[in-house]
């Protein structure tokens, strides 16, 4: 009997991407974040959605207090996922409440998260420290957080989008 194979447009692929987590337990460690895309990870034209909510500790269910921000540091783009809530424990590494997850953004498609490269763990730690300083100053002046915010950290050149 012959079989017909259909290409499904909305089928999802799940794979993991390496990231860095700076947690409230005073630890910086490498983690794997589950990521969903409509096509295999070798194709860069499809947006990837990292499922970072499950990587934050002390929350048994996905929680609504996870925000993200694009950060540019020395010509490298990162996406920083962070929690913001008054009941979260204080982060010992940074002077904020909650955890931070830092993921690298791609060059071909700047909205996609990609695996960290060699030396990115050190950069991610620097990004988290500088992000915390810039974000604290920004948050003090404005109580509302703007979605889609891009922070260009000191010592970095503005990155021009290819679009």
Beta strands 150-152 and 113-114 are unpaired
Report if residue 78 sits inside a domain: yes
Residue of 94, 98, 102, 99 whose CA lies nearest to 20 = 102
Q: For the segment 82-128, what is each residue's pLDDT rounded down to a tens digit?
A: 877 777 777 777 777 778 888 898 888 887 888 888 888 888 888 88
Q: Determine, yes or no, domain membership for 4.
A: no
Least confident of 3-7, 89-93, 121-125, 148-152: 3-7
CA distance 31 to 63: 19
Domain of residue 64 covers: 13-152
Q: Would you say residue 157 lies in a domain?
A: no
Instruction: Report the alpha-carbon distance of residue 108 to residue 111 in Å, rounded.
Output: 9
DSSP string of 69-136, one letter each residue: EEEEETTEEEEEEEE--TTSPBPSSSSSBS-EEEEEEPSSSTTSEE---TTHHHHHHHHHHHHHHHHH
Residue 161 resides in a domain: no
How many folded domains does the chain comprise?
A: 1
Residue 163 lies in a domain: no
128 located within any domain: yes
In a domain, residue 36? The reply is: yes
Q: Does any domain span residue 32?
A: yes
């Amino acid at each position: 009997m012959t079989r017909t194979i259909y290409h499904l447009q909305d089928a999802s692929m799940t794979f993991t991407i390496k990231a860095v987590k700076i947690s409230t337990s005073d630890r910086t460690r490498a983690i794997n974040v589950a990521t969903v895309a409509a096509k295999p990870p070798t194709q860069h034209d499809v947006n990837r959605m990292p499922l970072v909510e499950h990587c934050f500790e002390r929350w048994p269910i996905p929680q609504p207090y996870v925000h993200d921000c694009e950060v540019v540091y020395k010509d490298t783009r990162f996406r920083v996922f962070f929690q913001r809530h008054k009941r979260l424990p204080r982060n010992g590494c940074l002077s904020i409440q909650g955890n931070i997850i830092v993921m690298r953004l791609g060059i071909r498609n700047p909205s996609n998260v990609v695996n960290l490269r060699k030396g990115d763990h050190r950069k991610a730690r620097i990004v988290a420290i500088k992000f915390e300083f810039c974000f604290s100053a920004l948050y003090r002046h404005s109580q509302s957080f703007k979605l889609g915010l891009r922070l260009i950290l000191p010592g970095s050149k503005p990155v021009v989008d290819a679009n």
